[in-house]
């Protein structure tokens, strides 16, 4: 097993690095966000500052994007379905003002 330098921080390059909140609080914030709670609502229920909640969600989002980009490289598609696209466009046209 390789020896780590004495100043090595195991939290380096993780969501926990330079954060003064517990991993459990981070998990709760991200869980609430994934369930659709508002950022201000998460801030109120968790007791964390709004900016802390925003920072956690942004960091997790960036990390998830990095993982996604690393794992999903080349996706071969043979068929693309746009079934919902027609109804979405039609719905928006019915709400749009008439064009002169």
Stated pTM of the model:
0.59
Q: Tokens 């500052």 sit at which residue?
A: 49
pLDDT over threshold 80, residue 83: no
> How many Cα atoms are found within 13 Å in the side-chain-facing hemisphere of 48?
25
Q: Which of 62, 58, 55 has its CA nearest to residue 18?
A: 55
Measured CA to CA, the distance from residue 4 to residue 1 in angstroms comes to 9
Which pLDDT belongs to residue 39?
A: 94
Average pLDDT, the chain: 78
Is residue 52 within a helix (H) or strand (E), and if so which, with residue range?
helix 50-71
Measured CA to CA, the distance from residue 17 to residue 10 in angstroms comes to 8
Task: Write out pLDDT tens, residues 15-38.
Answer: 655 667 888 888 999 999 999 999
């Amino acid at each position: 097993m390789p020896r780590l330098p004495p100043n090595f921080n195991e939290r380096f390059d993780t969501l926990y690095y330079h954060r003064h909140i517990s991993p459990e609080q981070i998990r709760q914030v991200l869980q609430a966000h994934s369930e659709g709670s508002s950022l201000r609502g998460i801030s109120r229920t968790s007791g964390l500052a709004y900016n802390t909640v925003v920072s956690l969600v942004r960091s997790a989002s960036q990390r998830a994007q990095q993982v996604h980009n690393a794992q999903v490289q080349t996706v071969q598609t043979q068929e693309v379905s746009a079934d919902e696209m027609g109804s979405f466009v039609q719905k928006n046209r019915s709400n749009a003002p008439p064009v002169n």
